[in-house]
Amino acid sequence: MIDYRIDRGSGVPAYVQIVEQTERALRMGTLRVGDKLPTAREVVAATAINPNTVLRAYRDMEQTGLVELRRGLGTFVTRSLARPGSEDDSPLRREITDWVARARAAGLERADVLALVTAALDAHGDEHDSGTPGDRDRKKEDA
């Protein structure tokens, strides 16, 4: 079951953080079609945010077709964002896990690591993508 972590204090709205983390889990295959998201009640218990805020996030994802809210039952994943290459045992994944470990061992913080990756993405050429830097989980992209 996905476990949301809300960073109050980053200026980023709580509901955006929920959507981002959910999409990330979908891309990684951590969350699969048919899986149930935690109930608003559960998220509230874990994060101390307001139930309405959770529902707002779920509603947003319903509109983008990622999940379905079934009254009385819960919220369920209806679409995958998984990519071949992101599997748990893929070479790319093993390599990045290793690289991250070395980066951290070298003293880099989480933010340093992300900055490095973002720079590499930007260097690779934006033309292959439509996204602006920091443009992760844009509403579309996929299909």
Partner DNA sequence: GTGGTCTAGACCACC
Partner DNA sequence: GTGGTCTAGACCACT
Residue in 86, 66, 78 with CA at minimum distance from that of residue 138: 66
2 binds, among DNA, a second copy, none (CB under 5 to 8 A by kind): none
What is the token pair recorded at 38? 């935690």
Among the residue ranges 55-63, 101-109, 117-125, 131-139, the one whose residues contact DNA (CB under 7 A): 55-63
**Integer angstrom CA distances of residue 3 from 11, 59, 75:** 20, 18, 14
Residue in 65, 58, 56 with CA at minimum distance from that of residue 37: 58
Q: Is 60 in the site for a second copy (CB under 8 A)?
A: yes
Measured in degrees and rounded to the nearest 5, phi and psi for residue 10 equal -75, 145
41 binds, among DNA, a second copy, none (CB under 5 to 8 A by kind): DNA
Contacts with DNA in 12-41 (CB under 7 A)?
13-16, 37, 39-41
Of residues 2, 44, 55, 108, which one binds a second copy by CB under 8 A? Answer: 108
Rg, the chain, Cα only = 17
Of residues 52, 63, 90, 97, which one binds DNA by CB under 7 A? Answer: 52
Binding-site ranges for DNA (CB under 7 A): 11, 13-16, 37, 39-41, 48-53, 55-56, 58-59, 62, 69-75
